[in-house]
């Protein structure tokens, strides 16, 4: 039994051998009641506007938002909106069939060509979600005689595609551990697939891609990189983490989503022509799902065009990222090893995370508290995503609000007050 000083987490209400589905649903009310006691409103909160640098939590309450992954602001640009409207007029609201049996329109093929070229691969296949892209490709490629060697911080969508195969976890970005495992499995499985992220979604750090490529080549393993948070953002031309490390064309499989830098929805897998041809008949989340809509496809194509031709948008994003990193670090906040637009502001206490998020929201700033089981208990944090559409004053407000909140509840991870506190100004 839980006592009054014990707090519930989502882990407490997962699939259980002891409770039925309805019983678990009843028990889950305890977690909902706990959130209400915290005064925390971040999950399933309703927006009355688009979600970018700002959002409306009610018709008359606008807040600065740090929850969107629309890194380049593409979801709100006139060009992407108009491209979608034109496609609606030409094609209608949906393809209304799976691509394999007739839902494959000419702009789908165009997007496949352009995204494969952009990622440095031979060909690509589209999916109606980024989740479906990862799950579909892994379901199709790995079975009981194969093995996936995974970084522990890969996305849940990839894990969902690994239920029918063997799985070995390595330490995060741990090259020595990876090499040990690759040596051990070298002659034991038909397919050996190392799975990593380009940019990790919770810590904002990068994979050690060049070294991992070398190890995979040395031991005859394939490499799959989920670049959901890297594509459009990383690299001189925004071509992703592979470009950032000068490794274009050296990754066997790149997956990604259109719901972040492209400002839309859907996913893709880019690889060799032969592998993509195979996936077009065996990736269940493509074969048995309706194609992404014409509007979405056209808007993605326009986003890709803007990413190629307007580097100043990406430059604005990185200017914001560098500005915030400087001010958070100057004021003593722990942001881990982030090298991307994702900032984990480490609180390291589940209860304080809820309190900080609630106080930020009362200050007109909407962020997400990330707690166990999404991260380890001692790694609870506020997760902040920075966009090109944020203004410097938005970033200043975040830093200044955190400084004021820390004066009251002291959430700096080393237990000390912030030293040399300086208000951010712009």
Task: Tell me what pLDDT residue 37 has.
Answer: 83
pLDDT digits (tens, 9 = 90+) for 330-353: 999 999 999 999 999 999 988 899
Q: Which of 9-23, 89-103, 226-240 has the lowest mean pLDDT?
A: 9-23
In this predicted structure, the answer to whether residue 416 has a pLDDT above a threshold of 50 is: no
Share of the chain above pLDDT 70, in %: 95
* Strand order across the beta sheet in which 61-65 lies: 54-58, 61-65, 365-366
Query: Is pLDDT of 124 > 80?
Result: yes
Mutual angle of helices 311-330 and 392-409, in 10-degree steps:
20
How many Å apart are CA 104 and CA 199, to the nearest integer? Answer: 31
pLDDT at 423: 58
Give the range with max mean pLDDT: 130-134, 366-370, 411-415: 130-134
Task: Give 117-175 as a DSSP string.
Answer: HHHT-SEEEEESSHHHHHHHHHHHH--TT-EEEE-TTS-HHHHTT-TTSEEEE--TT-H
CA 256 to each of CA 28, 85, 99, 177: distance values in angstroms, whole numbers, following the listed order: 33, 24, 19, 26
Cα gap 175→172, rounded to integer Å? 9
Q: Does the structure show a pLDDT above 80 at 412?
A: no
Mean pLDDT of the chain: 93
Peptide bond into 152 cis (omega under 30): no
**pLDDT tens-place string over residues 192-201:** 999 999 999 9
Integer angstrom CA distances of residue 175 from 53, 171, 208, 256:
37, 8, 8, 24
pLDDT at 377: 82
- Give the helix/strand (H/E) hosting 385: strand 381-385
Q: What is the pLDDT of residues 33-73, one digit of tens each?
A: 988 887 777 788 899 999 999 999 988 899 999 999 999 99
User: Where do the domains of the chain lie, and which CATH numbers do they carry?
Assistant: 37-66+312-409 (3.90.1150.10), 78-309 (3.40.640.10)
165-223, pLDDT tens digit by residue? 999 999 999 999 999 999 999 999 999 999 999 999 999 999 999 999 999 999 999 99
pLDDT of residue 58: 87
Under the banding of pLDDT at 50, 70 and 90, the label for residue 295 is very high
3-state DSSP call for residue 334? Answer: coil
pLDDT computed for residue 5 by the predictor: 56
Q: What percent of the chain has pLDDT over 90?
A: 83
Angstrom CA distances, 335 to 119, 248, 382, 405, 413, stand at 29, 29, 10, 17, 10
Per-residue pLDDT reduced to its tens digit, 371-410:
888 888 889 999 999 999 999 999 999 999 999 999 988 8
Q: How far apart are CA 309 and CA 259, in angstroms?
A: 20
Given a cut of 80, whether residue 4 has pLDDT beyond it is no
Place 420 in a pLDDT band, splitting at 50, 70 and 90.
Answer: very low
Parallel, antiparallel, or unpaired for β 192-197 and 147-150? parallel
pLDDT band at residue 155, thresholds of 50, 70 and 90? Answer: very high
Flag whether pLDDT at 74 surpasses 70: yes
């Amino acid at each position: 039994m839980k006592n009054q000083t014990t707090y519930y987490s989502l882990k407490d209400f997962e699939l259980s051998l002891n409770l039925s589905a309805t019983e678990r649903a009843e028990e889950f009310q305890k977690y909902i009641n706990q959130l209400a006691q915290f005064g925390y409103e971040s999950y399933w909160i309703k927006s009355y506007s688009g979600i970018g640098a700002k959002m409306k939590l009610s018709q008359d309450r606008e807040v600065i938002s740090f929850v969107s992954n629309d890194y380049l602001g593409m979801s709100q640009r006139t060009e992407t909106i108009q491209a979608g409207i034109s496609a609606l007029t030409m094609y209608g609201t949906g393809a209304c069939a799976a691509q394999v049996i007739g839902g494959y329109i000419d702009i789908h093929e165009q997007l496949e060509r352009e995204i494969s070229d952009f990622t440095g691969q031979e060909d690509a296949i589209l999916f109606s979600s980024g989740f479906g892209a990862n799950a579909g490709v892994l379901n199709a490629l790995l079975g009981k005689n194969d093995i996936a060697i995974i970084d522990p911080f890969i996305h849940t969508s990839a894990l969902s595609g690994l239920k029918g195969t063997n799985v070995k976890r390595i330490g995060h970005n741990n090259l020595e551990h990876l090499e040990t495992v690759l040596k051990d499995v070298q002659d034991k499985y038909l397919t050996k697939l190392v799975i990593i992220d380009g940019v990790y979604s919770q810590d904002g750090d990068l994979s050690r891609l060049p070294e991992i490529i070398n190890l995979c080549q040395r031991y005859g393993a394939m490499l799959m990189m989920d670049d959901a948070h890297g594509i459009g953002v990383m690299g001189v031309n925004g071509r992703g983490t592979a470009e950032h490390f000068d490794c274009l064309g050296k990754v066997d499989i790149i997956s990604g989503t259109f719901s972040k830098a492209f400002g839309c929805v859907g996913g893709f897998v880019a690889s060799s022509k032969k592998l993509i041809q195979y996936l077009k008949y065996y990736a269940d989340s493509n074969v048995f799902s309706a194609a992404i809509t014409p509007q979405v496809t056209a808007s993605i194509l326009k986003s890709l065009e803007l990413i190629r031709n307007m580097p100043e948008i990406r430059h604005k994003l990185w200017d914001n990222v560098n500005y915030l990193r400087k001010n958070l670090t100057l004021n003593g906040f722990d942001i881990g090893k982030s090298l991307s637009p994702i900032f984990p502001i480490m609180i390291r206490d589940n209860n304080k995370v809820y309190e900080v998020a609630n106080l930020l929201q009362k200050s007109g700033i909407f962020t997400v508290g990330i707690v166990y089981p999404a991260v380890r208990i001692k790694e609870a944090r506020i997760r902040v995503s920075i966009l090109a559409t944020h203004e410097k004053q938005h970033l200043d407000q975040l830093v200044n609000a955190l400084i004021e909140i820390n004066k009251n509840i002291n959430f700096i991870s080393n237990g000390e007050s912030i030293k040399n506190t300086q208000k951010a100004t712009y």
